[in-house]
Amino acid sequence: MNIVDLILTKRSGDALDDAQIHAFVEAYTAGDVPDYQMSAFLMAAFLRGMTEAEMISLTHAMLHSGIVLDLSDVPGVKVDKHSTGGVGDKVSIPLAPIVAACGVPVPMISGRGLGHTGGTLDKLESIPGFTTALSMQAYRRQLAEIGLVMIGQTDDIAPADRKLYALRDVTGTVEFVPFIAASILSKKLAEGIDALVLDVKFGSGAFMQAEPDARHLAETLVRVSEGFGKPAVALLTDMDQPLGCAVGNWPEIHESIQLLAGGSAPDLEEVTFELAAEMLVAGNAARSQEEGRLMARKAVVSGHAMDRFRQLVRAQGGSLVAIERPETRYDGAHAADVRAPEGMSGAVARIDARDVGRAMVDLGAGRRTKEDAVDPLAGCWLSKRQGDAVRPGDVLARVTATDASRLEAAVERIARAYTLSAQAPPPGSRIRDRFAAGVWSR
């Protein structure tokens, strides 16, 4: 196989066949293709496009680059959720224990941050001691024992995606439907699930900024998942502004704990409980979305969801002290307030999620290169959110980081992310639509 010929074929806009894609992915996974050649291929495909057949071949090749788990010996319908990513999107962290507390097993394999968005693994690993690297034996055992496991990709599960995921992040090739679909589904189909619920986002804080593009991605993900024999449903959600109040790694864990304790930002609760309802229906625990929402809220009010989260943290080596007293985790961080300057007054019309996300990367909560370390304490809390009144001197947000030298630039960028208006915008739902069985129905 001549790698340069394959790159040139794609650069010319021609399609690769199934055998070529499988051979290319296999060689890259084995280390026989260097990052610079794979980067060239990624950019060529990004610019020239891929056919449906190429996307399916890529998904299949990445899926079978490692083992495909069979969890049929674990009782229940195994359901996972995947989000396409957004600024402040910490939903997986409270969602998984809520659903598990309602009796549906959740085997979740997550990724790290991409671009201006955070990653579930980076957030979980901000819990002192928490490990996302479990053996397949431990993965199975924990799922059977507590109905919940949250890990990263191992060397055995979709290793091709593990390598490509990091490379896409630093080569400007993230926002491409075939790559996104192959990445998501190769992981999810390999982890042994029976059904999948998708949170597909659009807006400034998402990779798909335009709603039509996000709809196309949702349709593609559901169609390809069903083609591999796994039922799927997708919710289309608005990510034009940060989700919830916290952005960063430990800050988002902190806000997740608040949700599980019974109170958090209304938009975060809305998305979490809607996705929980879909998972409970897919897992045959609820007969309708309405019943699923009620079950999910009951799991939080009763404390069962928080108990399941504690079990997860304990099982994966995390500190329960940090979970019980999350505010003490900031003791090693520097902090600065973002204040409204003179002349800035009115109601918050918008907080640009992409600007906030990029400020978080600069602060150390994300990566500029795939080798960058992540600061677990870097992040911000938004004191003023859409609709809130602002007067000069008011605190708009509070920024934290281990490296004090990074605070000033982040403060300035977050301040610029705020847009005010004379009147508060009307409240609206974050959830715009639902796609299942080939139909948009919300």
Strand order from edge to edge, sheet including 334-339: 246-248, 379-382, 395-401, 334-339
Is 304 in the active site? Answer: no
**CA–CA distance from 104 to each of 89, 98, 247, 286 (Å)?**
22, 9, 28, 10
Q: Mention every residue, 6+ apart, whose C-beta is less than 8 A from residue 87.
A: 116, 117, 118, 205, 239, 242, 243, 247, 353, 354, 356, 357, 360
Q: Distance from CA of residue 95 to its chain's centroid?
A: 12
Is 187 in the active site? Answer: yes
CB atoms within 10 A of CB 227: 11
Residues 351, 203 contacting (CB under 8 angstroms): no
Long-range contacts of 324-330 (CB under 8 A, 24+ apart): 326/250, 326/253, 326/254, 326/257, 327/254, 329/126, 329/128, 329/250, 329/254, 329/377, 330/250, 330/377, 330/400
Give φ, ψ of 368 to 5 degrees: -90, -35
Distance CA 179, CA 212 (A): 18
Choose, from 183, 225, 256, 264, the residue flagged as catalytic: 183
Is 225 in the active site? Answer: no
Residues 288, 417 contacting (CB under 8 angstroms): no
- Among residues 287, 305, 289, which one has the least CA distance to residue 297? 305
Distance CA 156, CA 139 (A): 12
The 3-class SS string of 54-90 reads HHHHHHHHHHCCCCCCCCCCCCCCCEEEEECCCCCCC
Choose, from 116, 163, 187, 430, the residue flagged as catalytic: 187
Choose, from 82, 112, 358, 406, the residue flagged as catalytic: 82
Distance CA 411, CA 368 (A): 19
- Among residues 98, 398, 436, which one has the least CA distance to residue 271? 98
Longest CA–CA separation in the chain, Å: 65
Burial of 412 (0-12, 13-18, 19+ CB in 10 A): exposed
Is 163 in the active site? Answer: no
- Among residues 237, 272, 256, 264, which one has the least CA distance to residue 123? 256
Is 238 in the active site? Answer: no
Choose, from 80, 89, 161, 194, the residue flagged as catalytic: 161
Residues acting as catalytic residues: 82, 161, 168, 183, 187
